[in-house]
A and B are shown apart, each in its own frame.
Chain A
């Protein structure tokens, strides 16, 4: 017998964990449905919070979209480890030979998927609700921003949700930790959306913001890889 050889492949571990999260979500539908509803409600509140019914909010398109998505992300990220914590399964994962960063990657992939589902609703809805002017031509560009921003949100969100997991008042702690780190993502994603929505077509700005999102993702990936072992290392 040798314990050093035939180490499980991390790809199989990752696939297994992601499959498990998606199966749980499909069975309970707890997270995604709540996220979508929350996002739609927030968009509605935005309209009235910003002024009267007739005000044209076209120039706030990016902001409306990304403030909504940022808060929705907090909601989704907060659910990240709920099954593990409430059903007390975490020890089972931790005694198994998974690199902790694979655990993080699995949770991050789930968040990217959940956010993408929310955005499939939110991005068209923003166009219908708020934009008076061309919007649908640039929907591909907006989708690309969303994809990049989702990766950023998932990486920092998973790190902070791991930190909040065993804190007292964790539901309060997570937004306090997570939202300040999300400010740059909101600034860049809203800026990029603004650059292409409503016929602005400022591709230089757009590219700059997207590159910034890539830089954010890389930096947080490095932080996650460097620190995630220690999150669960009691």
Chain B
């Protein structure tokens, strides 16, 4: 059948499509399972009631956004070594997603603050304040990108991704030393201080958000690669 062969070559030609599909399925399954688990199965928190369930997502996306920024930092290092544009794509997309997740951290944290303490914003909550700073750091990444072009853009963005990732723990720590701990400290240095039934659903949520991040990254990167390939073709046509 001619149609099926074209179908085949087309799907075979898109690099990374399989990985994106697989991660997409994993993410869809995990997100569904974790949503059901968090809202229907996990035990209700004795003190905080239903609003505590936002914790599963709040903390999971907070951690995943850090993973995203770490990915961008590593991509930045590779870009400076290889000067290959695909690392620029990885860094750009990772920070885009990381920033989206950080904004969600601030929003969910704000909702949680409203429910727990009656105000939308508390400066004494280190996580909320840190993520506000993180959002500002990484929003500046896009301001920088939009104001330089071509090769410099890749290099500057990579350097900023590395410097930004150094700023994250510094912000995190400085906000923490400046504040008494008002936030419920769920994790201690030695590990989790929550009941096992909660921990399971937290881990599932975390896995779901991580899979979601990877799937979105893969999908977006396919688009970037296609764009680059298209530009190459256009350029080749122009030069002939």
Contact = CB atoms under 8 A, between A and B. Distances in A.
Q: Do chains A and B touch in the complex (CB under 8 A)?
A: yes
A54 interface: no
B55 to A, nearest CB: 26
Interface stretch (A29-37, A87-95, A166-174): A166-174
Contacts of A177: 140, 143-144, 160
A183 B174 contact: yes
B175 interface: yes
Given A176-B143, A191-B177, A183 B166 contact: no
B151 interface: yes
A180 B80 CA distance: 24
Interface string A190-234: 010000000000000000110010011001101100110011011
Nearest to A230: B80
Interface string A16-34: 0000000000000000000
A180 B160 CA distance: 12
B162 interface: yes
A220 B163 CA distance: 7
- Dominant secondary structure of chain B at its interface with chain A: helix
A166 B148 contact: yes
A226 B154 CA distance: 16
Contact of A163 (B144, B151, B166, B177): B144
Interface residues of B, number: 30
Given A156-B163, A231-B159, A167 B170 contact: no
Contacts, number: 89
A188 B178 CA distance: 8
A226 B162 contact: yes
Nearest to B148: A167
Most buried by B among A156, A163, A188, A219: A163
Interface in B52-87: 77, 80
Given A191-B177, A208-B177, A227 B80 contact: yes
A187 interface: yes
B155 A233 contact: yes
A181 interface: yes
Contacts of B178: 187, 191
Given A177-B140, A180-B140, A181-B137, A230 B155 contact: yes
B173 A230 contact: no
A176 B80 CA distance: 23
Contacts of A167: 144, 147-148, 156
A184 interface: yes
Nearest to B174: A184
A170 B148 CA distance: 10
Contacts of B177: 187-188, 191, 208-209, 212
A163 B154 CA distance: 11
Nearest to B76: A227
B171 A184 contact: yes
Contacts of B77: 226
Contact of B170 (A160, A219, A227, A230): A219
B162 A183 contact: no
A159 B163 contact: yes
A222 B162 CA distance: 11
B196 to A, nearest CB: 36
10 contacts: A156-B163, A159-B159, A163-B144, A173-B147, A177-B140, A183-B174, A220-B163, A223-B166, A226-B162, A234-B151
Interface of A: 156, 159-160, 163, 166-170, 173, 176-177, 180-181, 183-184, 187-188, 191, 208-209, 212, 215-216, 219-220, 222-223, 226-227, 230-231, 233-234
